[in-house]
Structure formats: structure tokens, C-alpha cells
Structure 1
């Protein structure tokens, strides 16, 4: 290797290492409160178990898009471009989602409404969008749960207001242009709240079985070797004898830690696994801000947390 190539390689390795996330870096929990009317809330944790609200639990971003102007179910990821990208539920009954980006989780771009279900006749809702990045194709996938009237009649029910969801998606490389909306996952039951994470060469989808009769209302897992699927059949339930929703997942060492909303009990729960098969309930080990609702967890750098703490 000549000197120029060596220096170039060294420079790139320094840049990559500077941008790489350390396992010791703190975590941030993005969530909403109430009906999502006041916007984005953030909490932080050094150990992934004990969380403290930032900014005295005041909103970091007030919602401005859609008729209802809500900011429910915020999902934030750090993109390959170094920016934080966020999507959220803007309304109980709209045909699109909200999007904004930020360099520091404090100052946000102009909010956009992305009409992902506008072309799908009979769309009733667009709930709990999330983003997952595929480094192989350098593509972001945004996905969410939607009920389309008269679709999937085999699992139709009059309970839960007749909602009968499946997971849909679009892809983008720049959050400016988007693919056509497609069906992502039909597990043969009413499904919402999918959250997909990369696990070596495969992708793991955590999801909620929304079936009301007979009641499931639990979390399950599916797998795929490609981000856009196809995904496997859903696993047996990984949560217990309570109603759970809104999973968000972090990896701490070799352990998978899944947070979720025990929404009928008005509290949060957590389960832990090292193999994605055997799960231990660790709900009694977590501490979260009062009133926290469905959100996502991401890691930030110490300098980023320091700036958030100054707010």
C-alpha cells in the first residue's frame, strides 16, 4: 500500500471510529404523553434501566402537521448521514405520517406530512410508524399499521371499532422521494406496532398481535433475511398474561431488552433475553418518568446528552 492509500485508509478509519456508537454510550427514550398533543418528550439513561426525563419533561417539539396536530408514537433513529430522523402518528384517522430531522434532538427541521396511504382507497388510519435502516442497500424503510376497509375479511371483527390492521411500508434513500406503498407483513391476524432491528445477517420484527377474540394483545417475533421481507410466521407470545403494545428494543452486551406499554395497567414493562427465545420479565427493575407512553429508544454520544441536559 502506498503512502497516499495508507493515509486515506487511516483517515477513513478515524472518521468511522469517531462516528461509531460505543456500548457505553447513554440511551435516550423518545415518547409522548396524554394524546400526543404537546409533542416530543425525551428521557435518558446510563444503564438502560433507570430513566430520567429531560427538560423537566417538557416537550422538545410541538406538532404542526395534519388536521389533528398530534405527535404520538415517535420513532427516532440515527441515520447513515449522521442526522436524527423521526416519524410519528399525526392523527387517529389520517392517511399519512409526520417526519422531521435534527442534528441534536433539540433543533428540528420543518415538519412534513408524508401521505403514505393517500392512494389506498378505504384507508382508515396510519398508526405507529417506525424507521429501520438497511446498510447493505443504503435504504431506509418506513413502516406502520393500517386498516383498509374490507381487506383481509378472514380476520375481520366488530370489536375494537372494527380495526383489522396489517403492516405496510415505503422505502427512501433521502427522505425526499419515496417508493410506492406496499404490504409488508400479513401474519394471518390483526397486527400493529412492528419494530424491526438488525441482528447480524437477519432482521428481527417485534410486533403486537392485536387479536381481540379470543384476546391475544401480546408481543411476538418474526424474522427475515431482507429488511423488506418476506418475514416468517409469528412466534409464540414473548410477553405474559397482560395486554402489551408498543415494543421498543435495545441491545446491551449480549442481551436483548424489550420495553413495552402495559397499557391496561397504566405502566411500562420490560423483558430480557440473550437468545430471542427464552425471556425473563424484568419489569420490577425499570424506572421511567410518570405518564410515559409508546416510543423508541436510541443511543446517543455523551456530548449529545450533555447538550440535552443543558436544556
Structure 2
């Protein structure tokens, strides 16, 4: 009898330990104009999200002249550190960077001058993707350079294209290069590996002659080149921006800001061709703006709470 009881207790303990180690989802975002800094929320199923620490800021912005922290993007690198980039201003040539072991204690904030060599108007919504083949980080963002693409200079809100730099140590960075240009105004790109290829979700920011303001998917066999023209939009008859994507099981989930409706949305797909809008199932913190999703160990969220 005692052996049976010990066996049952061990199974219960092992089950509880497994549950504690299960991956959960974390969402980094900003509120308002980004003046109070980083906010975090978490979810077990990808649909029901709860803010952490009463939706208070985890990190106040200090980088840049305007000291904003918009569009925070966090990834966990192979070094175990969480690396974050963000938009420091509407009109500066720099982006923000900081790192953390636990998402509570952060390094000093860098103001990285990625477009200082250009007549650039801005650096918007930077994101990071780790290049496992080259063992380096790729940071990319949208920038307008007046006159650089004259054919579309007057057809959108500014005239954005996607640019990138690489770094191995977040101390030295390569010179910015063009990442994506298919003849239209584009912002808010996010890249996810998918087997041997890469998926780029992006926003068409075209305004004239017909506003687009939808999200699209393009693919490439290379991380920093080769992305083609988009096909059909993956979002519906509303304006969308700020996509962030993650694969849960066999399903891709793309979250985005329905910014004219002041709410968040999500579309899902198992084949990356047919997309289902499941926004009515989504529950997000009030006032949430553009952010990114990532998987973390359950213990990470337990510490944050």
C-alpha cells in the first residue's frame, strides 16, 4: 500500500513539474505614445491574454531625444538573453536596444544610429530575427529617405522601404542595407523561419490611388534577400498594422493592430494560404498597441508575476 501511495505521489509531482515547465506565450507592447515604456502580457492558449504587474511599465525609455518606447520587439537568443529593440521617436535616425536575463533587470539602453549616414526621416518598428546559419542577429525596420523612390513618393504616408543591419554582439553593426522593395510603400515587417525558408509578414502602406492598409505574406529561401511580390492580403476589409507571428502546433497565428478600430485582431492558418479571422475570440489588455509575441518557459512568467 505504501509503495502504491508513493508511486501516486511521484506521478502527481512529476505532472506538476511538467506543467510548470510548459512553454507559454509572452507579448511585449506599448500604450499611448510609448512614453511610459515596456508592457508585457502572457497567455497559455494564444487567445486569452493577461497583462503582467497590473499593466505597469517594466522599463522606462531613456534612448533617443524623444525618449519613447514604441513597437518593442523581444527575442530570446541562443545566449539565453532577451534582446529588445524599439522605436525611439517618430522622426529620429536611430533605434533603441537593451538586453535582460529575466525581463526585469535591464542593461543600459543604446541609441543605435542605424540610418545616421542617410538623409532619413525616421526609423520605425524595428524587429530582430536570429540567423542561426551565420550566428548573428538581423535587425530590420522601415525608413523613409526623401526622393529615394520617386515613383511612390506621393502614393503613401511617407515613402517607406525595409532596411537591415546585422550584429553578433550588439556593439558593432554593419552598414544598413535595403531588405525589401517591391515598388510600394511598406512598413511593419516581421520575419519568422519556417523550415528551410523564411516568412515575412508586412503592411502595404499605399494610400493613393486606393488605400491598401492590409497585411501580406511574402517568402524567401534567404533571410535578408529574395522576398517577392505579395499575393492576396491575409487580413480583411479593415485597416491593419503591426503584425507579429508565431506557430502553435500546426497553426500559424498572426496578431495585429486594428488601429482605426482601437482593438487587436488575429488571423490563423495551417497552410499559409487560407486565413481565418478569429479576432472575436481574442482578449487583449485594454489600450494595447503594436508589439511582438514569443514563446518562453513558464518559469519566466512566474517570475514576472
TM over 0.5: yes
Q: For 1:136-147, list aligned pairs within 5 A.
A: 136-147=133-144
Q: Which runs of at least 4 in structure 1 moved beyond 3 Å after TM superposition?
A: none
Give the corresponding residue for 2:300. 304
Change (3 A) 1:186 1:158: closer
SS of match in other structure, 1:293: coil
- 1:155 matched to 2:152: yes
SS of match in other structure, 2:190: strand
- 1:50 matched to 2:48: yes
Deviation at 1:229, TM superposition (A): 1.0
Deviation at 1:133, TM superposition (A): 0.6
Q: For 1:1-311, list aligned pairs within 5 A.
A: 24-120=22-118, 122-157=119-154, 160=157, 163-213=158-208, 214-309=210-305
The C-alpha deviation readout for 1:38-86, integer Å capped at 9, x for no partner, is 0000000011110000010000000001110000000000011110000
Q: Distance in 1 between matches of 2:80 and 2:29?
A: 21
Q: Distance in 2 between matches of 1:236 and 1:266?
A: 24
SS of match in other structure, 1:303: helix
Deviation at 1:159, TM superposition (A): 5.5
SS of match in other structure, 2:23: coil
Aligned-CA RMSD value: 1.2
Query: Any unmatched runs of 5+ in structure 1?
Result: 1-21
The C-alpha deviation readout for 1:158-206, integer Å capped at 9, x for no partner, is 753xx00000000011111111110000021000000000000000000
The C-alpha deviation readout for 1:210-242, integer Å capped at 9, x for no partner, is 001110000001111111112121221110000
Preserved contact between residue 23 and residue 252 of structure 1 (Cα < 8 Å)? no
The C-alpha deviation readout for 1:140-162, integer Å capped at 9, x for no partner, is 100000000101111111753xx
SS of match in other structure, 1:288: coil
SS of match in other structure, 1:259: strand
SS of match in other structure, 1:305: helix
Deviation larger for 149-158 or 291-300 = 149-158
SS of match in other structure, 2:40: strand
- Equivalent pairs, count: 285
Query: Any unmatched runs of 5+ in structure 2?
Result: 1-19
The C-alpha deviation readout for 1:251-307, integer Å capped at 9, x for no partner, is 110000000000000000100000111000000011000000000001111111110
The C-alpha deviation readout for 1:98-151, integer Å capped at 9, x for no partner, is 00000011110000000000001x200000000001111111100000000101
SS of match in other structure, 1:80: coil
Change (3 A) 1:24 1:281: farther
Give the corresponding residue for 1:13. none
Q: What's the TM-score, normalizing by structure 1? A: 0.90
